[in-house]
Chain A
Amino acid sequence: MIEKIVNPKELRHWDGKIELYWVYTSGKAGDEFFKKLKEEDKFLAAKCKKCGKVYFPPRIYCEKDFSETEFVEVSGEGCVRAFTVARLDAYEKPLDNPEIYALIDIDGTDGCLIHLLGEVEPENVEVGMKVKPVLKPKDEREGRITDILYFKPL
């Protein structure tokens, strides 16, 4: 058996970075959804032609029976299924104002969305609370999920 290095100063390491840049396209269904939201203020969901399940956000296929879906319009309103209040940011530094993230069941669909809640204090949020979306002004929209600023109580 040969001797191993035990002096930490002689053990070497190498620092480096992984630098990458990604562009994620929204896909066929995503493109339709974001363009409709950006230009016409409307929300799209997708209904399976075979089993009738309504997907939100929309997809071009039904994951259960693999048949095609068709786009249907929904109001975008929903109710809070669960929520959490964040007081630290992603680097564990305290936030100036707490942020409320909620899982929102969207009316008329079998799907839900994660987004911010706004115009409400954390103490007043309840599961089952009805909410509706507030969008950015039209000229600021970019075709992303952040075109919805937050959901506010009805």
Chain B
Amino acid sequence: MAVGKKDIECPPYAEGTPLSDEDIKEGKVTYVEDHPDIRYSWTAGQAISKFLNGLKEGKILGVKCNKCGRVMVPPRMFCELCYKPIDGWVELKDTGTVETFSISYIDPDAKPLPEPVIVAVISIDGASPHMGIMHILDEVKPEDVYIGMKVKAVWKGEEEREGAITDIKYWKPVEG
């Protein structure tokens, strides 16, 4: 069967034995199950640690690179384009613009949610254009969300904040 023959169809056959979910549940084939319990403690690193501490105080922090002039959020210890350490921290506003959004009907395991969730990429005021973070929108109807909508962060109460991205409960549209 050499390459170049125009009268042969490829692939010539499709091998493999399909199974359905019932075949497994009814034990038609032998199998082994495993359910690992793997735990992690991820270090946030220098930059994100300071960012999370800032969130606890109700502030959104960004970083600045003097070479390319970008103000970046989420913050990092080095500018990935110039490949040099960043030059300083900047406090940003807690308002922003919706860059893109989606209305999700599924949870992380692809199961249906009781109420749809609106997720968006929000560029933060005070940072370079299109510097966004991902977060949830609320206090707005899904059909009223549009790209370019101005939003403001709604924070948890001071005692409830723990230094996590969820210290911002959600973002809501700015009136007017």
Contact = CB atoms under 8 A, between A and B. Distances in A.
Q: Quick check: do A and B touch in the complex, using CB within 8 A?
A: yes
Interface residues of B, number: 33
A2 B52 CA distance: 18
Given A20-B36, A23-B24, A28-B17, A14 B44 contact: yes
B44 A18 contact: no
A35 B30 contact: yes
A139 interface: no
Nearest to A143: B30
A142 B29 CA distance: 11
Interface size class of A (residues with CB under 8 A): 20 to 34
Contact of A17 (B38, B44, B163): B38
Nearest to A11: B49
B27 to A, nearest CB: 7
A34 B27 CA distance: 12
Nearest to B36: A20
Given A12-B52, A17-B40, A5 B24 contact: no
B8 interface: no
Given A12-B44, A13-B43, A14-B42, A22 B33 contact: yes
User: What is the predominant secondary structure among interface residues of chain B facing chain A?
Assistant: mixed
A2 B86 contact: yes
Given A21-B35, A24-B32, A15 B41 contact: yes
Given A2-B85, A17-B37, A10 B30 contact: no
A126 interface: no
Contacts of A64: none
Nearest 9 A/B pairs, CB to CB: A143-B30, A34-B30, A12-B44, A12-B49, A26-B30, A18-B38, A14-B42, A22-B34, A12-B52
20 contacts: A5-B50, A10-B49, A11-B44, A12-B48, A12-B53, A12-B163, A13-B44, A14-B41, A14-B44, A15-B42, A16-B39, A16-B41, A17-B37, A21-B35, A25-B24, A25-B31, A26-B29, A38-B30, A142-B30, A143-B27
